[in-house]
Structure 1
């Protein structure tokens, strides 16, 4: 990075208007480029208090290290852009690494990891008007639905409102749906074929139009189920990376199979590329790009 952390702090303290100025002059590009595929690096986890990677509880807490990893990932051929919250995207704007890149704002981070209110995924991040004002290219929302939690209805209503607000601005919105439940006090996402199928059907029907809605989906527990699961909707979809596992080769193989399916347009992957279990960021990112 040509700008150091002290430089970023100085700019933020003395010239906060530099962020809006950098956003205004940023060179934009189409959401889907000439390859017809989309490769996005995700880094919106910290704002939900999810700082751990594998057995490293605070791996993502070091902002200088995270920014360096993001800069490396964004410099690799085939990487289209980044998904993050305002603080991280603004750091990257000031660092000048978002030129000709897809920039996606994260809309809801209110369901803090491990909190008693974790399932309350309120919209505490970018608003649709922020995405438009900053000339970003898309937004993303998390939609976790617990059939035993009446509060999930409010989450659904908030998500539908976000779909409508983004569509009114002709901005794509990536919806990441899960059927979730609490087990021993922890929120677990159900990755069975039936649960993912239901989540796709629910997410696809949100709002007054689905014209600008994309789906951000996990690979099912049994990857062989993905073909049938994805028959649930005609909306374009990207695969999410999920937790960092010890067997990264198995994860690559699951992605490789799912990427062959007609509605899958690419990937949005975070910790497994930025903090790979084995090797460095360059190798992990290049391997994932190769799957496309």
Structure 2
């Protein structure tokens, strides 16, 4: 699917003159019946980074800023049949819906990026017919705000599960140092965060975890919940993915993010798809 000049102009025109088209696009999206692929895996493209101001890729601080280029790269990625779907904020999801790119794809709506829920909420995800919601669970022991974040995530898990929608939780342990939050990426901190995230809500039946890669046995061994792995890849994605522990029993997929949308999208997505396919054998 190519974003021609004509389709781009049509998108801009629709955005300006027909806001009701977004609602119609949600309503007419063809949903696929299963979350997982025939191989029992889930391969998502993440497009939630621009909404939190993360625009840089490599040494280009504005690589994700040009909207047409971003959509073109997303269209290339989603056109790969091995890609199961998208994780994104409402603006990106809606533009891809208007472009007809999300039929028969899994769609997770981003609900928050830091501590406050500022994007999709559970009723909207349900109403729009999406497949689940993704939330960042920032855990900072010294910050009183962590309690409200835990509560908000727990409420979202409960509400999504009540309607059979999946909750994808990204545990993100941090510590405050010299006034800044520093991610805690050691296995002990991540394993602890996994156990906290796993217990949120009135049921864990529909909960998935999104964890940083490469995984470790201590972190992945801390849960029985299904896990997708995500993280930056270098210029050699094949070598990177070889260390991601995609073969671990709880790992069922991966999320390719913004670093792969700024280079050779087609080749990087193909490499990731092949690595996931090999791990599923």
TM-score norm. by structure 2 comes to 0.92
Equivalent residue in structure 2 for 1:253, among 233, 242, 245: 242
**Is 1:106 the equivalent of 2:110?**
yes
CA–CA distance in 2 between the matches of 1:155 and 1:142? 9
**Is 1:230 the equivalent of 2:234?**
no
TM-score norm. by structure 1 comes to 0.89
Equivalent residue in structure 2 for 1:17, among 13, 17, 20: 20
Q: Kindly state the Cα deviation for residue 285 of structure 1 after the two structures are TM-superposed.
A: 0.3
Q: Kindly state the Cα deviation for residue 252 of structure 1 after the two structures are TM-superposed.
A: 1.8
CA–CA distance in 2 between the matches of 1:14 and 1:168? 36
Cα contact 1:178–1:195 (8 A) shared by 2: no
**Which residue does the alignment assign to 1:46?**
50
CA–CA distance in 1 between the matches of 2:194 and 2:273? 25
Q: Kindly state the Cα deviation for residue 189 of structure 1 after the two structures are TM-superposed.
A: 1.6
**Is 1:172 the equivalent of 2:166?**
yes
**Which residue does the alignment assign to 1:266?**
253
CA–CA distance in 2 between the matches of 1:228 and 1:181? 20
**Is 1:73 the equivalent of 2:77?**
yes
Residues paired across the two proteins, number: 272
CA–CA distance in 2 between the matches of 1:145 and 1:187? 10
Q: Deviations over 1:134-161 (max 9, x none)?
A: 1111110001111111111111111111
**Which residue does the alignment assign to 2:266?**
282
1:60 is paired with a residue whose SS is: coil
Equivalent residue in structure 2 for 1:96, among 78, 94, 100: 100
Question: After the TM superposition, which of the residue ranges 179-188 and 132-141 deviates more from structure 2?
Answer: 179-188
**Which residue does the alignment assign to 1:136?**
130
CA–CA distance in 2 between the matches of 1:262 and 1:79? 21
Unaligned runs of 5+ in 1: 112-120
2:119 is paired with a residue whose SS is: coil
**Which residue does the alignment assign to 2:87?**
83
Cα contact 2:138–2:146 (8 A) shared by 1: yes
Equivalent residue in structure 1 for 2:207, among 200, 210, 213: 213
CA–CA distance in 2 between the matches of 1:49 and 1:96? 26
**Which residue does the alignment assign to 1:115?**
none
Unaligned runs of 5+ in 2: 277-281
Q: Deviations over 1:257-285 (max 9, x none)?
A: x1110000000121132124xxx111000
